[in-house]
Structure 1
Amino acid sequence: MNDTRKRFDVWTNISLLIFIFYILFLGLPLFTMLFKSFYNGTTGEFSLAYFTKFFSKPYYLTALFNSIKVTVCVTALAALIATPLAYLMATIKIKFNSTIRIMILISSMSAPFIGAYSWILLLGRNGVITKFVKNVFGFTMPDIYGFTGILVVLTLQMVPLIFMYVSGALKNVDQSLMEAAESMGYKGFSKMRKVLLPLITPTLLAGGLLVFMRALADFGTPMLIGEGFKTVPVLIFNEFISEVGGDDGFAAAISVIVVLFATTIFLLQKYVSNKKSFTMSALHPIEPKKKSGIGNIAAHSVIYLYTLIALLPQLYVIYTSFLKTNGRIFVEGFSLKSYQDAFNNIGGVITNTFILAIVSLIVIILLAILIAYVTVRRKNALTNTLDIFTMFPYIVPGSILGIALLITFNDKPLALSGTALIMIISFVIRRLPYTIRSSAAILHQINGGIEEAAISLGASQMRTFFKITLPMMLAGVVSGAILSWVTIITELSTSIILYTGKTKTVTVAIYTEVIRGNYGVAAALSTILTVITVISLLVFLKLSGQKEVSL
């Protein structure tokens, strides 16, 4: 009897409830989408017609190839830029180091499509830089549209993610290894390539996977500047949403192909990481040293130049938000009209965004704390399965999850389509992994003996958790929560599928205003979103006492 009671304690019940939540709102939608992809909407029979259609037509295969090309190139380029950048900042004393790190982080915290929109204003056919070069030098620059533009926008957006991962890994490398390498004649980048790179490879693979999945899932950037360069997220969106010839069964089939491809990449990354994984403990971490001469000037120039280029799109959008507009075009002079129009016409979207994001974040924090605890402290078959389920949102692109939720919950008994609840569910499922990851990481560092001592002194399991474990977990919870918050308020790919007039968010409003050509209002809303993001980050750094957000 005692064994049964021990097995089915309060934590087992909590694990079961969370598992049911995932089955209902992640497992069931993905299974429904899988079923729909093999289901002939006309005859009602099992059919491979959708898959045959996809693999037999060059148009669809080209979109798949384009997506793979974009994701591979973005991941490789982001790693090639971020790794030397992190190495320079870890080994050389850079003036305003903490400020630069925060600026690099801020440059990644807007939705990618806002970067695309910014670069249209700068390097589009009538962009500021394009016109300046043509007028001054008589040279017509290549425009930002197509593959090149997508690559530039997404790479600049993703570099900070790998930068944060690599920066965290470099803190665990012992200085003595660097000194030993120098004594063997390795200097500068040869030292980084021969010694540091093998040490940080597992971390680089983890960061690369996150970048790969985000680039694969991105919808807004190729939609805005892809023009003829079609990618799979755009293809899925067009098939699902199109009023003429749209087919949700075919959209489901394409989604299944993408999920299978993403799962393969995820498992491959896991396999390689496990083969190369090891633990590092730095008694004497690498410390930045003061450099002099040309090396110091070069290091500062590279870092400052990258930071300026990364922030340029956001700075220019902020600038244009204060320009006068005549209809859809910017004219000389400054005005607050774009902000007035933003608040007068679609001010409700700001309220919607805050309400949806705050409710989602409360649910995320609650679930993340519980999931992290049961997966770290209560390991069994159920919690191990739950741990796998929580990783799925890394693999499933946002637009695909949105379609899966819409297909599943469009009818009774759970008709959630068009409601705020379905938006909150999508935000929670997609952004929960950030907070789970950071909460679990800090829980691994907390000695379980402290909890056992409290229980042996007569405290109940729940009292021990709330009074002892939870306070020690809070730093990790807050760190993950800020990333969850920022990614919720900049979310587009799921929201664009699920929103209605009553649940429209700021990112959806920005996207629709850009499509309509209302660049002034779009700039004003983008600036508001950037300010909210920066304030959120600064509040987190102040509350946590940290100088940077680490992954």
Structure 2
Amino acid sequence: MEKKKHFKVDFWFVITLVIVIVFALFLVYPLFSLFANGFKDADTQTFTMNNFLKFFQKKYYYRTLWHSFLVTTCTTILAVGIGAPLAYFTTVYKVKCKGLIDILIILSMLSPPFIGAYSWIVLGGRSGVITKFFASTFGIETPSVYGFGGILLVLTLKLYPYIYLYTKGALKKVDASLGEAAESLGCSSVRKVATIILPLITPTILAGSLLVFMNALADFGTPMLIGEGYTVMPVLIYNEFISELGGKANFAAALAVILVIITGIMFLAQKYVVNKKSFTMSSLRPIQAKRLRGGKNILLHIGIFIVVFLSIIPQVTVIYTSFKVTKGSMFAKGFSLKSYQSIFGDLGKPILNTYKFGLIAIISIILLAMFIAYITTRKKSWLTNIIDSITMFPYIIPGSVLGITLLLAFNKKPMLLSGTAVIMIIAFVVRRLPYTLRSSAAILYQISPSMEEAGISLGDSPLKTFFKVTAVMMLPGVMSGAILSWITIINELSASVILYTGNTKTMSVAIYTEVIRASYGTAAALASILTLTTIISLLIFFKISGKKEISI
């Protein structure tokens, strides 16, 4: 007779159980509440399909879905068109200041996109610097930064670095002998790229494209600030939810359900395509950068520097304008520290909240990531496989949707968390856990289980061995992922703008509200502090990881 298998009740069983409860309470239950509310009538609370019918019957509503797809598709195409060639040129050819270029591109990626929207309003808005210059000097009316074009500009410059980093990582694994063999057979440079290099890096570009698509689809701040009449799904969900918070949030929940289903389908489709096309590459001899001569070299550098300059404009603009004298919504001649005096006085609380909530969230993320990574790699079972799958959900849930799910789930007793700092921290942890979790699992795969076995054989308990040996060896990988989680936490807007109150406002929300009020000086000062924090965090990442670039 076969013996029945029993769960061994030890420390790791308890940890697994706690993690299951945490995910069930703060991710699965809120998502269930979202779906349940989407199918409820606002007045009678009975089951109905009217919320979904309302969306598809009125042009104003279903048109936002088309707007979202158009923006995200065009952004993805442009991001690939900029990021992939830029990665190829900086890998294959010798480019001056390549290290600085990489850092500036990474910085533009890690800064929140709504800062880009604010900067382009200052530069190309109706009273913008560029707009005024061309109107007064040449009598030329520049194109508007508002609407579809402005959203596309900001999101493309914000998101192409994902393609750049993914493609650059893939190109480092391409063996140089493949290209040399093609050239020896008479293959031209263009044909070599099209027939050899491009097919090899296509799965990686597809993976980066999904990340761009998801980020563009979920972005709230950019279309809210410069979209004007061009409404997309996250903005519609926010507007409907805020306007219906008096007790009728069911339609907003239905909109959120539609967005979650769409992002879920896109995620699964991309995984299927990538898995079908994926293969392993091992580069015995990586591509060596060669020097271009003459006019081609000049054109190469001009093109790269223009792209990088446009990418970093938001950060330069906010730092410069933060020191300008302001009169209402206008910048005047001269420089002043008045904006900084204002934010450290009246707006000091959002700064403290950002660091306080961020530190609590990042400590929680580090602990969760280490434990989840360990049980999913060392204690494999059907339960840990489920946990591993659930941890992927934050990738496909837009921030505004997560904010709504948490409010719907925790808006009444006995779990009344709405309006508290706790619900903000929960949103940060759930949304940004995957960054640290991924790096924790990656480093754990490189640590041999024999290290733990040696500790146990010397008399230490498995628990003591984990903290004395495994956790210490995991720390560099965990911390490098944690810093990336930290950077995205302090820049978080889409979930925060739905969950915050006057006492829990963060820097990103304060910047957004100041821009809405046309208080550009204080918005610039807050954005400068956020940018400086991001730069310092990035330098700490490079120091801890020993790397000079970020791999994603």
CA contact 2:115–2:527 (8 Å) conserved in 1: yes
Cα deviation for residue 532 of structure 1 reads 0.7
Matches within 5 A, 1:128-527: 128-242=129-243, 247-527=248-528
Q: In 1, Cα distance between the equivalents of 2:287 and 2:353?
A: 45
Q: In 1, Cα distance between the equivalents of 2:411 and 2:466?
A: 39
Aligned position for 2:532 = 531
Q: 1:115-163, CA deviations, whole angstroms, 9 ceiling, x for partnerless residues?
A: 0010011111221111212222221111111111000000100011221
**TM-score normalized with structure 1 length:** 0.96
Specify the SS of the correspondent of 1:108: helix
Specify the SS of the correspondent of 1:324: strand
Specify the SS of the correspondent of 1:271: helix
Unaligned regions of 5+ residues in structure 1, if any? none
Residue type at the aligned position of 1:367: L
Residue type at the aligned position of 1:341: S
Number of residues of Structure 1 aligned to a counterpart in Structure 2: 551
Aligned position for 1:49 = 50
Q: In 1, Cα distance between the equivalents of 2:470 and 2:77?
A: 40
Q: 1:348-395, CA deviations, whole angstroms, 9 ceiling, x for partnerless residues?
A: 110010000011001111111111121122221111111111110111
State whether structure 2 residue 84 is matched by structure 1 residue 75: no
CA contact 1:239–1:245 (8 Å) conserved in 2: no
Pair 1:209–1:343, CA change in 2 (3 A): same
Q: Identity rate of aligned residues, in percent?
A: 57
Residue type at the aligned position of 1:431: R
Q: CA RMSD in A?
A: 1.9
Q: In 1, Cα distance between the equivalents of 2:544 and 2:381?
A: 35
Residue type at the aligned position of 1:281: S
CA contact 1:82–1:160 (8 Å) conserved in 2: yes
Cα deviation for residue 204 of structure 1 reads 1.4
Residue type at the aligned position of 2:341: Q
Pair 1:542–1:116, CA change in 2 (3 A): same
Q: In 2, Cα distance between the equivalents of 1:163 and 1:482?
A: 20
Residue type at the aligned position of 2:113: P
Matches within 5 A, 1:8-23: 8-23=9-24
Cα deviation for residue 5 of structure 1 reads 6.9
Specify the SS of the correspondent of 1:19: helix
Cα deviation for residue 107 of structure 1 reads 1.0
Pair 1:365–1:131, CA change in 2 (3 A): same
Specify the SS of the correspondent of 1:317: helix
Unaligned regions of 5+ residues in structure 2, if any? none
Cα deviation for residue 247 of structure 1 reads 3.4
Specify the SS of the correspondent of 1:418: coil
Cα deviation for residue 470 of structure 1 reads 2.4
Q: In 2, Cα distance between the equivalents of 1:475 and 1:186?
A: 44
Pair 1:467–1:49, CA change in 2 (3 A): same
Q: In 2, Cα distance between the equivalents of 1:192 and 1:454?
A: 51
Q: 1:419-448, CA deviations, whole angstroms, 9 ceiling, x for partnerless residues?
A: 111100000000001111122122223333
Pair 1:267–1:323, CA change in 2 (3 A): same
Q: In 1, Cα distance between the equivalents of 2:340 and 2:458?
A: 60
Q: 1:259-312, CA deviations, whole angstroms, 9 ceiling, x for partnerless residues?
A: 001100000001001101111122222222233222322222222111111001
CA contact 1:109–1:486 (8 Å) conserved in 2: yes
CA contact 1:339–1:524 (8 Å) conserved in 2: yes
Aligned position for 1:92 = 93
